[in-house]
Amino acid sequence: MGNSPPTPPDDITSKQIQTILAGWGKQHFRPFPWRTPLKEWHGLIAEILLQRTRAANVIPVYQIFIQRFPLPQQLGMASVEEIENIIRPLGLHWRAPLLKKLGQKLSENDGCVPHDEQALNSLPGVGAYVTAAFLSLHAGVRSIIIDSNIVRFVGRLSDCLVDGETRRKKWLIAYVEALTPLNDINVFNYALLDFTMEVCTTIPKCDICPLGERYCAYRKRNIAEKTPNECGII
C-alpha cells in the first residue's frame, strides 16, 4: 500500500475485469422483481426504496406499492398517510411526502421518467445514487454507480485503505469510471452490485472469487506475504 492514490487499471485490464464480472453476474443474477419491471417508473421507485435497506425487506413492500400505484398519478393523489403505511416496514415513512411529490411531478410529464441526469436529480427524493442506478439499470444509459460495497471492492482491487469519505475521492470515481464498460451497462452494474454483495463482502470470499490475485492487489499481497485475509484463507 502506498501513499499516492491508486491509478485505474489500463484499458486491457479493465476489459478483462468487466468480462469476468459480467460473466459471473449472468450466472448469479438475482431475479428481484424490480429488475424486470413492467413499468419504468417502478424501477425508479425500487431504487429509492433500496437505499439503505436490505433487498429482501424491499420485496414485499415493492410488490404492495406497485399493485396499489400502477401509475404515478395514483401515487400523486394518494394520502401521505397511506404511502407512509406502505413503506413503514422499511423505516422509510419519512420519505412518504417526497414520494407523493414524485408521483405528482412524474404525472406532469405524462408519467414518464426523464432519462436526463439533471432532470432526474431534480425530482423529489431522487439523489445522485438513485439517478445513476436508475439510468444504468432501468434506462440503459451508461452511468457509474458507487455504494459502500463498491468502494470496498475497489479498495481491495487497488489495495488501498478506504473509509466513509472515499466514495467522493477523485481517484475512486476515476477507478470505477475505468472499470465500467461503454455497453451492456445494466448487465455490468447488476453484476457489480451482486458480486460486491455476495463475494467481495466485508469478509471476502477470495477462495471462490473469479478475479483472484491476478486482478486484486489485496489478494496478491495476502498470498505474497502469506498472511491470511479476513477469511483466514491464504
Question: Residue numbers of the site for ligand SF4 (CB under 6 A)?
Answer: 156, 199-200, 204-206, 209, 211-212, 216, 218-219
Give whichever of 5 and 212 is closer to ligand SF4, judged by the CB atom: 212
Q: Cell 415513512 appears where?
A: 93
Q: How far is the CB of 222 from ligand SF4 (least distance, A)?
A: 8
CB 51, min distance to ligand SF4, A: 24
Contact 204, 154 (CB under 8 A): no
When the beta carbons of 75 and 157 are compared against ligand SF4, the nearer one is 157
As measured in angstroms, the least distance from the Cβ of 150 to ligand SF4 is: 11
Residue entry with cell 421507485 = 45
Of 185 and 199, the one with the shorter C-beta distance to ligand SF4 is: 199
Give the whole-angstrom CA distance, residue 103 versus residue 101: 5
Question: Cell 436529480 sits at which residue?
Answer: 121
Helices (H), the chain: 11-27, 40-50, 55-68, 72-77, 80-87, 96-108, 117-121, 128-138, 148-157, 170-179, 185-198, 212-215, 217-224
Smallest distance from the beta carbon of 191 to ligand SF4, in angstroms?
13
Measured from the CB atom, the residue of 123 and 211 that comes closer to ligand SF4 is 211
Q: What is the dihedral of CA 157, 159, 163, 165, to 10 degrees?
A: -70
- Closest separation in Å from C-beta 74 to ligand SF4: 43
Closer Cβ to ligand SF4, 30 or 68, answer by number: 30
